Amino acid sequence: MGEGGEPQKAVLLTVDDDPSVSRAVARDLRRRYGREFRVVRAGSGGEGLEVLRELKLRGQRVAAVLADYRMPEMSGIEFLEAAMDLFPRARRALLTAYADTDAAIAAINVVDVDHYLLKPWDPPEEKLYPVVDAMLEAYRETPDTPAAETKVIGNRWSVPSFEVRDFLARNAVPYRWFTDDEPEAARLLKAAGVDTDELPIVITSAGATLVAPSAAELADAVGLSTTPATDFYDLVVVGGGPAGLGAAVYGASEGLRTLLVERRATGGQAGQSSRIENYLGFPDGVSGAQLTDRARRQAVKFGTEIITSCDVVGLRAEGPARVITFGDGREVAAHTVIIATGVSYRELEAPGVAELTGRGVFYGSAMTEAADCADEDVYLVGGANSAGQAAVYFARHAPSVTLVVRGESLEASMSHYLIEQLRGLDNVRVRLRTRVAGAFGDQGLERLCLADAEGRSEEVSAGHLFVFIGARPHTDWLEGVLQRDEHGFVRTGPDLLTEGRRPSGWRPDRDPWLLESSLPGVFVAGDVRSESVKRVASAVGEGAMAVTLVHRYLGAS
């Protein structure tokens, strides 16, 4: 994009090894077309191809290419043929002397050159501009589509390709997806100088090429922050779901130097929800991505520093400081910490599921897959709100959606409004007392084995399976540091008292506050907390309440 968000001008490229001719062509082109097009010149065929490759990687458009016929190392015909591979819709003209007219006419037939221009062409109004006008008129009828956003080239059934797309989508980074068998993908790979053995390939809007990048490399390349600005804060929030974002908004807005650390993408499970309709203040519903984006922007507005692709692996006390350790060995300290790492879906244990994860089997909504569901039967496993919301969403894309539920009914675990919505959708079916007993497919998911409570089973055709079962907290890194319950959820407040006795090693002359963990100054909010209410509104509320307790703790320290 240009200044002010305007699309960048399409390029007119002129290639000539004679500097005086090159300058004259560029001068005449700018005089007539400079307001609408950007005129670029190159001194050789090799230099011209480098210019075209860079333009291709940056997602810019080329309207027309004018190349001199006689150039050393690479003739104009050879150059235009190579240029056509990168920008097939750009119009092409050969600049030639009178003696080379026959060669120019042959080039029109051999390499699809649109026009030839005799040098010199004075006056340009009679001999240059009419030809270029015709070329640009033809270009305007079928122009290149600008693609200045990040581009991802991969294979549909590649797990790393899915992970890259999912990471970008969940971090609200615009991107364009190309499968490796598309002609445009081949042109981009040629411009980048890589082949299909190295997928996925990510080409940033600035033209940088990444080959099978890690999450941290990808985050850095697309402008997401991965490194804390300093080594000490008033508050470090671990986890960027609703509870963590709520804590960050309230912490930063109340003057605390706040750092939010997220392992993958802000929003958590709620951020993957296609539509949340029971959240206060949104009578028409709001998607998890929209709610997450608003909360993230609000947190940043108040001064929260957000870093992503940072895996937290340790927590310890050093005097009054609480020290967080990252997976790469870096550390950051703070007066207080709020743990809001949420939960993840439990893995579905059935033959074939693990092998097909990311290749037709997905955990959570994975809304990047919606476009591929247009002609496929979709199956979802789970009976809670997240599964119901996903079923409603995918019903708009897929011919049929089947909800596979182990329980006797939906009423025990799903909100009434969602049950009523599902009943009103003709292409949604609910199979109760049923489980997935197996998944099968070569490149990707093709079939599922479903078994009912009586032991009967059947195989069904399925292109996508989305899993929404159980809730597993991200707390292994807190083993031996904080007290957890038998399921791994962190105990807080009164839940830490045993027959009125405070936790072992507890030093303050008071009981733990409501959301405080067994380590003073470390608070817990949202789904990761033992006995919490698993709802978005309650998570946001706990994040705000935890900040109130942080202030109380800092005031008492």
DSSP conformational letter for 14: E
In tens digits, what is the pLDDT along the chain, a chain of 557 residues? 444 445 688 999 999 999 988 999 999 999 999 999 999 999 999 999 999 999 988 888 999 999 998 888 888 888 998 898 889 889 999 888 776 677 667 666 666 788 888 887 888 898 899 999 999 998 988 776 665 579 999 998 889 999 999 898 888 888 889 999 999 999 999 999 888 778 899 999 888 999 999 999 999 998 899 999 999 999 999 999 999 999 999 999 999 999 999 998 898 888 777 778 888 888 878 888 889 989 999 999 999 999 999 999 999 999 999 999 999 999 999 999 999 999 988 999 999 999 999 999 999 877 778 778 888 899 999 999 989 999 998 998 899 999 999 999 999 889 999 999 999 999 999 999 999 999 999 999 999 999 999 889 999 999 999 999 988 898 999 999 999 999 999 999 999 998 889 998 899 999 999 999 999 999 999 999 999 988 899 999 999 999 999 999 999 86
* CA atoms within 13 Å, Cβ hemisphere of 393: 26
d(Cα 354, Cα 465) in Å, to the nearest integer?
A: 12
Is the overall model pTM greater than 0.95, yes or no?
A: no
C-beta separation of 468 from 479 below 8 A: no
Stretch (H or E) spanning 449: strand 447-452
Q: What domains lie within the chain, and their CATH numbers?
A: 3-141 (3.40.50.2300), 150-221 (3.40.30.10), 232-344+472-556 (3.50.50.60), 353-467 (3.50.50.60)
Look up residue 465 and give its two tokens. 């399976």
Q: How many Å separate Cα 186 from the centre of its chain?
A: 22
Look up residue 201 and give its two tokens. 């390939």
What are the backbone dihedrals phi and psi of residue 395, each rounded to the nearest 5 degrees, phi first? -65, -20
Closest CA to 246 of 287, 307, 295: 295
d(Cα 289, Cα 545) in Å, to the nearest integer?
A: 24
What are the backbone dihedrals phi and psi of residue 494, each rounded to the nearest 5 degrees, phi first? -60, -25
DSSP conformational letter for 169: H
327: left (phi over 0), alpha (psi -120 to 50) or beta: alpha
What is the C-alpha radius of gyration for the chain, rounded to an integer number of angstroms? 30
Look up residue 181 and give its two tokens. 């068998």
d(Cα 387, Cα 469) in Å, to the nearest integer?
A: 8
Instruction: Tell me if residue 320 falls in helix, strand or coil.
Output: coil
Helices (H), 177-312: 183-192, 215-221, 242-253, 268-271, 288-301
d(Cα 297, Cα 293) in Å, to the nearest integer?
A: 6
Q: Which pLDDT does position 45 carry in this prediction? A: 92
Instruction: Tell me if residue 406 falls in helix, strand or coil.
Output: coil
d(Cα 300, Cα 320) in Å, to the nearest integer?
A: 27
Specify the pairing of strand 377-381 against strand 464-467.
parallel
Q: Which pLDDT does position 107 carry in this prediction? A: 63
Instruction: Tell me if residue 279 falls in helix, strand or coil.
Output: coil
Question: Residue type at 9?
Answer: K
Question: Residue type at 168?
Answer: L
Look up residue 275 and give its two tokens. 């539509």
Closest CA to 215 of 133, 311, 287: 311
Which residues is 362 bridged to in the sheet?
Answer: 466
Q: Which pLDDT does position 493 carry in this prediction? A: 95
What are the backbone dihedrals phi and psi of residue 403, each rounded to the nearest 5 degrees, phi first? -95, 115
Closest CA to 233 of 160, 306, 283: 306
105 contacts: CB under 8 Å, gap ≥ 6: 116
Question: Residue type at 136?
Answer: L
What is 89-101 written as a DSSP string?
TSEEEEEE-GGGH
